[in-house]
């Protein structure tokens, strides 16, 4: 098998793994995930965020173990474990998943824009513009993609401090009593939480682009931890701010919290917040597209600069197809479900198969 | 060359799909909107809009009121639009008023549509008026501000002092949530002023009861921690004394022993006495005496208010919400039965630290 | 289309002209003299008909003193010596005895006198006698500083080199010289400190300068635009400075400087975007003050770029954002104005640009008047006539003012231009448009490099150590190492232990 080593110039330092993980995990989901997780486990749902987050830590570890053992990326793992043809099929499925992840982020962000800022705007128009911006970054190569994720964290993090404004209107007794739900409720909440944590698995593709990749493990774990903290804080804040009944009616709980933010020079923050959120959404789209083109290059040896156009076209067509709330909700649900099975079943499965294969080979060659 | 042509066409395409513009001065900015009862299923809405007259040099704001009747709030908008030279913008609504007669019938529909509108803020005030809102909005007052600004500032500064914290978010919190009922300030026209006359208490979406302005601060002591406001207490021999609140804290002690709940509220007030009306304030035992009297009166007043709520089966203090946080497997069905008869005691602690700058 | 044939025609033309200019590759001496004599300032001089020596030179290029006081006395005394002997007699250095026609041509054109003897056909002595008129050193104008050195570069490369070398009297300061430009044959010097500057950077600069293909190079800004990494970018990627002290200082950091003969400014690089917002005066002030000013400048840039677009976005789409207390003022100032915010903003922005341009083109005294007339009279009149709102007038004026705080002239022009695309995006998509345009701008900045080094450093790639002299300036005892992004051969500026050694109390 041929492992195409990326050019020295496009490698990034290990600590950027932190930003890549965070920027991919935080996206459109954080604007309204509270309602979904509260559906099953009510005011205790913030604990499901933590449970899901801890599981993600384990999965990140598994990914690193997979990648360290194979020395390549997901495509080479597939090839090692399943052979060339079956491996290619699996890689293509992952490609589709990446495209759909990009589409989910894109279309949901457009919906936020349509609902909150410009009700009359065409999805395909603004979609085209956003896809173009994404193209500009992807075509710059992995270094630019990484830089974008770095700026995403830099620009996005200060928005957390806006929670202060909601604090004044919060009832923290809402969070009590603790552990007031059944285990099944927590499980359902954790499952609903997965879509928000999706994205770290893109690591499987950009791993070879990190200098000295094995040493980036701790940074990835810190990244996952940072995301976990942000989601937990947001969930805690929202549950203290909203009554449970009110939360059921609030689709975009985080954006609705921004409504209460008031500065002497800004009366209503949500318009600025949603615009700034572009920088948080872009890495989601950009990294996903980059991963998709990378898979195409690895499996079918099609140059990334060519394969990006059909992918962009797919995304744009997606903007046409997914028109109303029901469709977008369905898109979110399905991608969430696929992602759930991908990270909780497929990655562990790969992990186990690789262990077995390595054992078998190990007994044959005594040393790998 | 072809590349540039493609870019040019794309740009043209993009500019064609831009959002609708809402240029500031081309919008009729609604400052206050009032809803009145018209007939069985007709609602009359009045929108007070600040309008600039006199050009950019000697600009003055004036208040223009549009009003129309319709069945649903969306069609009201259409009816209002029929009178206005510019499209209405709801993004600057600062106060929403409901006529008491309408509020008694329920305001579900109106709240629902306001809630859905993304341009309506959450930092805005809702209030019930005694009498038609239209009259309140169209009347001239001696205050320098136009009516929408006057109303907003009036409620805002009273929330700092006497009436409990309330805005659209808090309303929604209680309205949609279980275990608490919403309340709003109650307004009335009094001569050349608008006056806050108390608090309007709701049973979910219906206005059912009210408390007086004097009682509002007692309510506030029970409802939240705060740092301002003052209240007059009656002492012996028909003497009166004003306690100025410096810091007040409230704690709910909820006990559910064998299915019979019991609640004690602990109110701790640190304050100063400014207007002692001839009472001596420099002897420690006198101060203790005063503190005791105030405590007694406050406890009585507070318990009277809670009793009033229990009788009406409303829960503006959010006792149910707090009870839920103390009990596992809490059900509101059970709670609703127990609430009216639940014993509630108030135990306050008054601490007078200052008495002004003279002895 | 027809683009191809046009290009071809151009190429052919270029070849013709280049052949004409550098012609004489294999002409004889006689032909050369014939060609030169067509110009009236070329002198062929012989002292008497039977005198064996002839002098050839361009009158405009040589110093007459050399002829009067050195050459002629010798030539009159010795009429029958060989050229070799004559060369020894002349009290002049670096004379050359040659028969290379190409060399003769080049030397004559740059101010040498060629002495020929009847007895030695073809051979002659080249006597350097170039005269160059130089301006006296004056104070810096575009990079003026209140305190600190008041010297600026002049148009003569020797003087400029002198000013740098006297600040860095070390043998490691090396100069590579070359001539570029088919017609102008401009002298270009690359300066660097051997042992500090990164070899790769030196190589890059040398290669790029060697590659320059142009007929005339008049100023260092020509070179700047030709060797810059991305010529399509609006951002300057090398610094152009007129301060010799600044050049000496950045050379010591490990950067590379380029001097161009005839240009009163030097280029330095590789550079980062933060350097464009640091004035050299920052190093003369105490570090707290300097850091504060740098942050002010940064804020000024953000304000200058974003204020008008945000005004357009908010007034066109998001009236909800305006604070209640400001709303009345804004509506009042906008009422009665016949244009939408975008037109109003563009008119005012263009008016300010017009004023700036008029002020820059006119003599300084008239320029000041234009500023006052434009700023006060037109501004007030426009507001009173109800053509523009006074709020926007304040914003635009402040934004222009803020853009002038940027110490590097090229960058301050860039900043003023940047707001136009932002205004257009703001008009079409409001706040979101501003965000989208900023994202594109960020993408562009991320792709930029300066001599192959990342432009946005130390922000991306994040190098915390380099922040000590970027957005703010730490005291000198903290500046122990040279900037990391320059990849210097010797990263240490000084001995850290010795500088930061702390004595005990009472010691």
Residue A290 has pLDDT above 90, yes or no: yes
Distance from CA of C430 to the nearest CA of B (A): 9
Q: Range with the lowest mean pLDDT among A334-343, A348-357, C373-382?
A: C373-382
Contact (CB, 8 A) for C312 and C341: yes
CA distance B325 to B259: 16
Nearest Cβ partner of C432 from A117, A147, A267? A117
| B39 or C256, greater pLDDT | C256
pLDDT bin (cut points 50, 70, 90) of residue C4 is very low
pLDDT one-digit tens code per residue, C50-66:
788 888 888 888 888 88
pLDDT one-digit tens code per residue, C467-490:
888 888 888 888 888 888 888 888
pLDDT bin (cut points 50, 70, 90) of residue B56 is low
Domain range holding C262? 157-271
Q: Identify whether residues C43 and C185 lie together within a single domain.
A: no
Neighbouring subunits of B (3+ Cβ pairs under 8 A): A, C
How many C-alpha atoms does A71 have within 13 Å on its Cβ side?
Answer: 7
Task: Specify if C467 maps to a domain.
Answer: no
pLDDT of residue C160: 92
pLDDT of residue C74: 83
- Long-range Cβ pairs for the range B37-43 (8 Å, 24+): B37/B99, B37/B101, B37/B102, B37/B105, B38/B69, B41/B71, B42/B69, B42/B70, B42/B71, B43/B69, B43/B70, B43/B71, B43/B73, B43/B76, B43/B102, B43/B110
Contacts of B172 in chain A (CB under 8 A): 246, 249
Residue A2 has pLDDT above 50, yes or no: no
The size of chain B, in residues, is 359
pLDDT of residue C258: 95
pLDDT one-digit tens code per residue, C391-403:
898 899 899 889 8
pLDDT of residue A277: 93
Neighbouring subunits of A (3+ Cβ pairs under 8 A): B, C
Nearest Cβ partner of C317 from B1, B15, B22? B22
Task: Specify if C321 maps to a domain.
Answer: yes
Percentage of chain C with pLDDT > 70?
95
| C27 or A37, greater pLDDT | A37
Spell out the residues 6+ positions from residue B98 whose beta carbon is closer than 8 angstroms to its own.
B34, B35, B107, B110, B126, B127, B128, B129, B133, B184, B207
Q: Identify whether residues C292 and C262 lie together within a single domain.
A: no
pLDDT one-digit tens code per residue, B18-34:
788 888 888 889 999 99
Q: Can you say whether residue C153 is alpha, beta or left, with left for phi > 0 and alpha for psi between -120 and 50 degrees?
A: beta
CA distance C375 to C356: 10
pLDDT one-digit tens code per residue, B84-109:
888 898 888 999 999 999 999 989 88
pLDDT of residue C13: 44
pLDDT one-digit tens code per residue, C205-250:
999 999 998 999 999 999 999 999 998 899 999 999 999 999 999 9
What DSSP letter does each residue of B270-339 carry, written as one string?
EEEEEE-TT---SSHHHHHHHHHHHHHHHHHHHHHHHHHHHHHT--TT-HHHHHHTTSTT--HHHHHHHG
Q: Identify whether residues C311 and C433 lie together within a single domain.
A: yes
The highest-confidence range among A218-227, B16-25, C146-155, by mean pLDDT, is: A218-227
Q: Where do the H-state alpha helices sit in A29-162?
A: 33-41, 45-70, 74-116, 123-138, 142-156
Q: Identify whether residues C291 and C423 lie together within a single domain.
A: yes
Strand partners, C269: C256
Q: Identify whether residues C355 and C208 lie together within a single domain.
A: no
Q: Identify whether residues C40 and C112 lie together within a single domain.
A: yes
How open is the CA angle A292-A298-A301, to the nearest 5 degrees?
Answer: 105
Provide the b/e sequence for B291-305 (b: ≥16 CB within 10 Å): bebbbebbbebbbeb
pLDDT of residue C356: 84
Residue C445 has pLDDT above 60, yes or no: yes
Residue C8 has pLDDT above 80, yes or no: no
Q: Identify whether residues C405 and C289 lie together within a single domain.
A: yes
pLDDT of residue C326: 86
Q: Identify whether residues C246 and C384 lie together within a single domain.
A: no
- Please say which residue of C210, C239, C271 terminates a domain: C271
Mean pLDDT within B164-175: 92
pLDDT of residue B3: 73
pLDDT one-digit tens code per residue, C402-423:
988 888 888 999 998 999 999 9
pLDDT of residue C5: 44
Nearest Cβ partner of C318 from A15, A271, A278? A271
Query: For residue B242, which of B356, B98, B81 has the smallest C-alpha distance?
Result: B356
Rounded to the nearest integer, the mean pLDDT of chain C is 86
pLDDT of residue B356: 62
Residue B193 has pLDDT above 80, yes or no: yes
* DSSP-derived 3-state class of residue B115: helix
pLDDT of residue C16: 42
CA distance C124 to C90: 14
What's the ipTM?
A: 0.93
Residue C22 has pLDDT above 60, yes or no: no
- B55 — contact with chain C (CB < 8 Å)? yes
Q: Identify whether residues C401 and C319 lie together within a single domain.
A: yes
Q: Which residue of B has its CA nearest to C323?
A: B92
pLDDT of residue A106: 93
Distance from CA of B163 to the nearest CA of C (A): 23
Contact (CB, 8 A) for A319 and A123: yes
Distance from CA of A274 to the nearest CA of C (A): 8
pLDDT one-digit tens code per residue, B218-263:
999 999 998 888 888 887 777 788 888 888 999 998 888 777 888 9
Spell out the residues 6+ positions from residue B161 whose beta carbon is closer than 8 angstroms to its own.
B228, B229, B230
Q: Identify whether residues C95 and C29 lie together within a single domain.
A: yes
Task: Specify if C134 maps to a domain.
Answer: no
Rounded to the nearest integer, the mean pLDDT of chain A is 88
Count of C-beta atoms within a 10 Å radius of residue C119: 12
pLDDT of residue C24: 45
Mean pLDDT within A245-260: 90
Task: Specify if C174 maps to a domain.
Answer: yes
Q: Identify whether residues C92 and C168 lie together within a single domain.
A: no
Please tell me the total count of domains within chain C: 3
Neighbouring subunits of C (3+ Cβ pairs under 8 A): A, B
Residue C17 has pLDDT above 70, yes or no: no
Distance from CA of A183 to the nearest CA of B (A): 14
CATH architecture designation of domain A8-365: Up-down Bundle (1.20)
- Give chain A's contact residues with C (Cβ, < 8 Å): 12-13, 15, 113, 117-118, 126, 129-130, 133, 136-137, 140, 143-144, 147-148, 150-151, 263-268, 271-272, 274-276, 278-279, 282
pLDDT of residue C208: 93
pLDDT of residue C9: 46
Mean pLDDT within B44-67: 82
Cβ-defined contact of B327 to A177 (cutoff 8 Å): yes
pLDDT one-digit tens code per residue, C117-147:
888 777 888 888 887 777 888 898 888 888 8
């Amino acid at each position: 098998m041929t492992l195409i080593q990326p050019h020295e110039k496009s490698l990034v330092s290990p600590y950027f793994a932190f930003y890549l993980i965070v920027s991919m995990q935080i996206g459109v989901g954080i604007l309204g995930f509270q309602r979904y997780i509260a559906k099953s486990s009510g005011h205790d749902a913030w604990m499901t965020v933590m449970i899901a987050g801890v599981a993600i830590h384990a999965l990140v570890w598994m990914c690193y173990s997979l990648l360290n053992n194979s020395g390549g990326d997901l495509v080479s793992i597939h090839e090692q474990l399943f052979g060339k043809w079956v491996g290619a099929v699996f890689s293509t499925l992952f490609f589709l998943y990446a495209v759909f992840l990009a589409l989910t982020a894109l279309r949901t962000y457009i919906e936020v824009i349509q609902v909150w800022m410009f009700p009359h705007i065409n999805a395909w128009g603004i979609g085209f513009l956003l896809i173009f911006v994404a193209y500009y970054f992807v075509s710059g190569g992995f270094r630019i993609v990484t830089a974008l994720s770095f700026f995403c964290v830099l620009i996005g993090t200060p928005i957390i401090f806006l929670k202060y404004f909601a604090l004044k209107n919060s009832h923290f007794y809402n969070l009590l009593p603790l552990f007031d739900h059944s285990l099944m409720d927590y499980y359902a909440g954790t499952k609903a939480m997965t879509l928000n944590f999706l994205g770290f698995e893109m690591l499987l593709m950009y791993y070879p682009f990190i200098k000295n990749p094995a040493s980036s493990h701790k940074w990835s774990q810190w990244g996952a931890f940072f995301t976990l903290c942000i989601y937990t804080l947001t969930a805690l804040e929202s549950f203290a701010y909203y009554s449970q009944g009110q939360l059921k009616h609030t689709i975009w709980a985080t954006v609705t919290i921004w409504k209460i933010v008031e500065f002497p020079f800004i009366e209503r923050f949500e318009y600025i917040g949603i615009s700034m959120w572009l920088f948080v959404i872009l890495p989601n789209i950009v990294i996903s597209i980059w991963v998709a083109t990378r898979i195409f290059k690895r499996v079918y040896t099609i140059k990334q600069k060519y394969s990006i156009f059909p992918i962009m076209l797919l995304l744009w067509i997606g903007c046409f197809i997914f028109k109303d709330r029901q469709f977008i909700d369905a898109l979110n649900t399905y991608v969430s479900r696929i992602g759930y099975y991908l990270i909780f079943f497929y990655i562990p499965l790969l992990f186990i198969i690789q262990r077995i294969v390595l054992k078998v080979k190990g007994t044959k060659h005594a040393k790998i | 060359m072809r590349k540039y042509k493609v870019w040019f066409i794309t740009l043209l395409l993009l500019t064609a799909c831009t959002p609708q513009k809402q240029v500031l001065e081309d919008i009729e900015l609604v400052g206050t909107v009032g809803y009145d009862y018209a007939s069985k299923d007709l609602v009359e809405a009045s929108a007070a809009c600040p309008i600039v007259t006199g050009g950019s040099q000697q600009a003055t704001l004036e208040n223009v009121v549009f009003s129309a009747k319709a069945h649903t709030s969306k069609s009201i908008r259409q009816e209002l639009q029929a009178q206005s030279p510019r499209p209405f913008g709801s993004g600057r609504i600062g106060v929403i008023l409901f006529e008491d007669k309408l509020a008694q019938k329920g305001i579900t529909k109106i709240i629902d549509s306001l809630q859905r509108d993304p341009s309506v803020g959450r930092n805005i005030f809702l209030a019930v008026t005694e009498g038609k809102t239209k009259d309140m909005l169209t009347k001239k007052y001696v205050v320098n501000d136009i009516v929408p600004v006057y109303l907003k500032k009036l409620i805002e500064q009273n929330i700092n002092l006497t009436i409990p914290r309330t805005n659209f978010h808090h309303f929604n919190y209680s309205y949609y949530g279980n275990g608490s009922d919403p309340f709003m300030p109650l307004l009335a026209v009094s001569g050349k002023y608008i006056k806050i006359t108390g608090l309007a208490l709701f049973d979910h979406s219906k206005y059912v009861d009210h408390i007086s302005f004097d009682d509002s601060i007692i309510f506030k002591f029970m409802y939240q921690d705060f740092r301002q406001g003052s209240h007059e207490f009656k002492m012996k021999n028909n003497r009166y004394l004003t306690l100025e609140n410096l810091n007040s804290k409230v704690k709910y002690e909820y006990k559910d022993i064998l299915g019979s709940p019991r609640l004690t509220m602990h109110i701790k007030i640190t304050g100063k006495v400014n207007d002692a009306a001839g009472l001596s304030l420099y002897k420690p035992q006198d101060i203790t005496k005063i503190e005791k009297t105030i405590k007694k009166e406050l406890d009585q007043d507070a318990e009277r208010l809670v009793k009033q709520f229990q009788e009406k089966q409303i829960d503006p203090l959010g006792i149910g919400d707090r009870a839920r946080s103390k009990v596992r497997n809490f059900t509101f069905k059970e709670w609703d039965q127990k609430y009216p008869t639940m014993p509630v005691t108030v135990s306050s602690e008054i601490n007078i630290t200052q008495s002004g700058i003279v002895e | 289309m027809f683009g191809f044939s046009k290009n071809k025609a151009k190429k052919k033309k270029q070849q013709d002209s280049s052949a004409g200019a550098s012609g004489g590759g294999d002409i004889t001496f006689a032909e050369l003299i014939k060609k030169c004599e067509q110009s009236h300032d070329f002198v062929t001089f012989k002292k008497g008909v039977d005198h064996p020596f002839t002098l050839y030179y361009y009158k405009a290029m040589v110093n007459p003193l050399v002829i009067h006081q050195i050459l002629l006395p010798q030539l009159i005394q010795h009429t029958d010596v060989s050229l070799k002997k004559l060369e020894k007699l002349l009290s002049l250095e670096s004379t050359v005895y040659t028969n290379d026609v190409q060399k003769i041509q080049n030397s004559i054109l740059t101010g040498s006198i060629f002495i020929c003897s009847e007895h030695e056909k073809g051979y002659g002595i080249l006597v350097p006698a170039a005269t160059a008129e130089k301006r006296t050193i004056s104070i810096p104008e575009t990079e003026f500083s209140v305190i600190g050195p008041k010297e600026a570069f002049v148009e003569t490369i020797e003087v400029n080199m002198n000013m740098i070398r006297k600040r860095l009297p070390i043998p490691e300061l090396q100069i590579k010289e070359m001539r570029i430009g088919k017609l102008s044959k401009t002298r270009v010097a690359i300066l660097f400190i051997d042992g500090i500057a990164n070899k790769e950077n030196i190589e890059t600069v040398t290669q790029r300068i060697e590659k320059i293909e142009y007929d005339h190079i008049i100023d260092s800004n020509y070179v700047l635009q030709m060797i810059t990494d991305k010529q399509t970018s609006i951002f300057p990627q090398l610094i152009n400075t007129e301060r010799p002290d600044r050049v000496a200082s950045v050379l010591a950091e490990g950067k590379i400087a380029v001097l161009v003969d005839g240009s009163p400014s030097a280029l330095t690089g590789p550079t980062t975007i933060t350097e464009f917002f640091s004035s050299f005066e920052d190093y003369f002030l105490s570090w707290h003050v300097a850091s504060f000013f740098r942050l002010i400048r940064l804020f000024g840039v953000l304000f200058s770029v974003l204020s008008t677009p945000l005004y357009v976005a908010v007034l066109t789409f998001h009236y909800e954002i305006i604070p209640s207390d400001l709303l009345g003022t804004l509506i009042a100032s906008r009422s009665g104005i016949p244009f939408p915010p975008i037109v109003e903003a563009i008119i005012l922005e263009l008016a300010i640009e017009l004023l700036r341009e008029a002020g820059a083109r006119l003599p300084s005294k008239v320029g000041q008047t234009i500023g006052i007339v434009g700023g006060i009279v037109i501004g007030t009149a426009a507001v009173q006539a109800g053509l523009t709102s006074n709020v926007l007038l304040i914003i635009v004026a402040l934004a222009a003012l803020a853009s002038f705080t940027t110490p590097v002239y090229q960058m301050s022009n860039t900043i003023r231009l940047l707001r136009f695309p932002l205004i257009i995006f703001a008009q079409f998509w409001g706040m979101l448009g501003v965000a989208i345009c900023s994202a594109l701008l960020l993408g562009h900045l991320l792709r930029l490099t300066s001599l192959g080094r990342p432009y946005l450093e130390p922000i991306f790639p994040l190098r915390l150590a380099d922040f000590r002299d970027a957005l703010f300036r730490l005291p000198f005892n903290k500046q122990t190492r040279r900037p990391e992004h320059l990849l210097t051969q010797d990263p240490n500026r000084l001995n850290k232990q010795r500088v930061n050694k702390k004595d005990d109390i009472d010691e």
